[in-house]
Amino acid sequence: MTLINLTLPIAEGDIKKLKVGDNVSLTGVMVTARDVAHKYIMEHFIKEEPQGKDKELFDLLYKHLHDGIIYHCGPVVKEDNGKYTFLAAGPTTSIREEPYQTDVIKYFGLRGVIGKGGMGDKTLQGLMDHKAVYLHAIGGAAALIGKSVKEVLGVERLDFGMPEAFWIIRVEDFQCVVTMDSHGNSLHKDMIERSKGELDKLLAQ
């Protein structure tokens, strides 16, 4: 298995080289964001000009997300005297972010989204338009993935709750697979179409 090593932030040219099925190892800083975080980005950044504390949060997130990656993850985090440690960092189901993801990719200039289960046609078009990829992390391996999180650099909007906050993390050798690329290919879409084809054959018998 050939492993493609990428360091965050990622250049557009490196993203365009990736194809569905490529195995990737990521090192650098990324940000977690789930349902509440995506909705907040839409309502407080994209739909209106951020002001005050929202502007401060935008500046911080943009620093890490431009040419960077959002991770759909609700981590389990241990806190000890103000120091945070990830105990588990498994991916969450990405399709819930389908209404927001293309806008968020465009707004921040994202190069990638990590999650599980894939995303729909709207996000696939967004990946093509803005040169980004969807990366599938291993579901059920939360503790193992947590070991790739070497440092928690910060957390924002912890009032959302631990799983929904923006966690800024430094990872090493975070391994995942490209399942939607910037050229319009989607392993998830292909699997659905093939499954439907097989079902149609069975029903026709």
Q: How many CA atoms does the CB half-sphere of 177 hold within 13 Å? A: 13
Q: Render 155-193 in DSSP notation, one character per residue.
A: EE-GGG-TTTSEEEEEEEEEEEEEEE-TTS-BHHHHHHH
Query: Is 136 a catalytic site residue?
Result: no
Q: Cβ(119)–Cβ(92) under 8 Å?
A: no
Catalytic option among 38, 64, 72, 130: 38
- What b/e readout covers 65-97, taking b as 16+ CB neighbours within 10 angstroms? bebbbbbbbbbebeeeeeebebebbbbbebbbb
Strands 133-136 and 112-115: parallel
Q: How many residues appear in the chain?
A: 205
Residue 100: its H or E element: helix 98-108
Q: Cβ(174)–Cβ(26) under 8 Å?
A: yes
**Annotated active-site positions, please?**
38
